[in-house]
Structure 1
Amino acid sequence: MDTQQVIAPPCAPPSSPGTRPDVTPTSGVIHVNTRHVSGFTVIGNHLAQHHELSLVAIGLAAHIQSLPAGAKVGIKVLTDRFPESEARITAALHELEAKGYLDRSRVRLPSGRMVTRTVSYNQPGAKPSTTAAPEPRPRPRKPPTTPAAPPPREAATQPAPAPVHVPPPTAPRTPPQPLPQPHAPTGELHRTASAFLADLRRHAPQLTLTEGDIATLTPGIATWLERDSHPDTIRHALTTDLPVPVKHPAKLLRHRITTLLPPPLPGAADLTPPRRKVLVIPLQNCDTCERAFRATEPGHCRDCRTEEPAVTHSATA
């Protein structure tokens, strides 16, 4: 009888990288992962799998987190970099600000220029790390020609005090001028001014106002109408030479309504030249012939004054 031979089972096929040998997905995504050693950014699943952010917002957050410190991330720069429109990028930035991934604020530089500072958070709500942004290296100074005296031993052993960062002083903001108020407000004047503000978006879509803005600016337009300004004149003053883009329509209109307000129209009495005063000499009765004549004081008329010397002369002879 022949000896029975034992045949070994075949080897299992090698598994693909990134998958477990005992679990093989039948559908869906299969990851083929390669370890990164340089040029990579760590993105949390709380951002990559966020259930309330749009795909544009998630991609924009990943792009911003991959940029070095100090890189420009303004809307104009992002619009030139990506094919999305300015409106979609602006909406995505607002989404990231609402969820705590971005913080944009206006700050004043020591030179006085206002810039937008953007802070990116890779994990909103977490305590930030103590690692600060790298400061610019100071320029090396030229060593002195004569050797300096060695510092005392105690000063060499003590660490130098850390410099205290003092923010530059900012100039106080000038309070805005008060909005003009009509002298005699009426219901009809209020309705006309409110309708005028609501109609502005037909002539300038960038000046679309909310109901609250219209209620706030209505007294200013009512003052223009009270001063006999034509609606076309007011519209031309408020919509000519608008900045691009108009970021705050209500603030822009408030400034123009206040600073471009015309004076009240003068009345008819103000335009009439003053009349010359005529000196009226009163009437007097002559003491001799009682004839009426004009003089400032009572006395004799002209005829009696000329005859009086002749009569006196004949009486003397």
Structure 2
Amino acid sequence: MRVYRTAPRRAFTTFSNALLRDATISWCAVGLLTYLVSLPNGAKASIRKLSEQRKEGRDRIGSALQELEDARYLRRLTRRDGRGQLRTEYEVFDTPYDPEAPEPAATPGGAPATGLTPETAGNPASGDPDHGVPGPLPTGEKTGVKEPPSPAIRLLTSLGRSDPRLALGAGEAERLRTLVEEWWAAGASDALIREALTSGLPARVHAPAALLADRLRRKKPAPRPAAPVRPECGVCGTPVPEGASCARCEPSAPAVAGFVAAALRGGASVRQVLRRRC
């Protein structure tokens, strides 16, 4: 295949290969996201208008928007406007956003600082599919609060912020999560995992998830050997040979008991001699 590219000088949008090759979202979701990102900040859109511009129907558009939300390319925020009514605002990102980053403050007019504004000012829970993108929130999710990602997923998704070649989708990070946890179980630190995953990368990374999975499996350190158990007396904590008992706390053998008694008598005699000389 030969690829011919032009170099536009105006009215263009730049996307990273990590976005265009993210296998965790469908072709429809990728195309829809590139269109939404190309819109000016504060643009208005709805499922109805999006479906009218292409051959996909409302159901397909709604499904693609849900994919983008699951992969953290789209975020919906619920805020109160100046009249005290709840409004849903939408933000779109060209790379998965950090769920722990603080939400941007709203502009004075109530619109989000970045992202996509719903077309309709109606109640987002009214059930009308045209009331914004991507439609009403399910019951129990109207506050926009989600389960925080696990530490392993946070580590994996942070790699893409340091090096765009290693950008992962939410589904890819979830599939690699257990491999990172195996490294931690073997005693590896976060710094060691990052070094193993980011050092010596090729100039072009075509499949970051596959590359990271290979490194996590191939370079996983051996489990740490268990520390040897040091036998000691259960009463006083004095180290004792394996299988032996403490002569001080358990003088069970007559020879050991006699030796201990003689040592005690000898110590008392020495102390008496020292007192007389003083």
Larger radius of gyration between Structure 1 and Structure 2 = 1
Q: TM-score, normalised by structure 1?
A: 0.32
Normalized against structure 2, the TM-score is what? Answer: 0.36
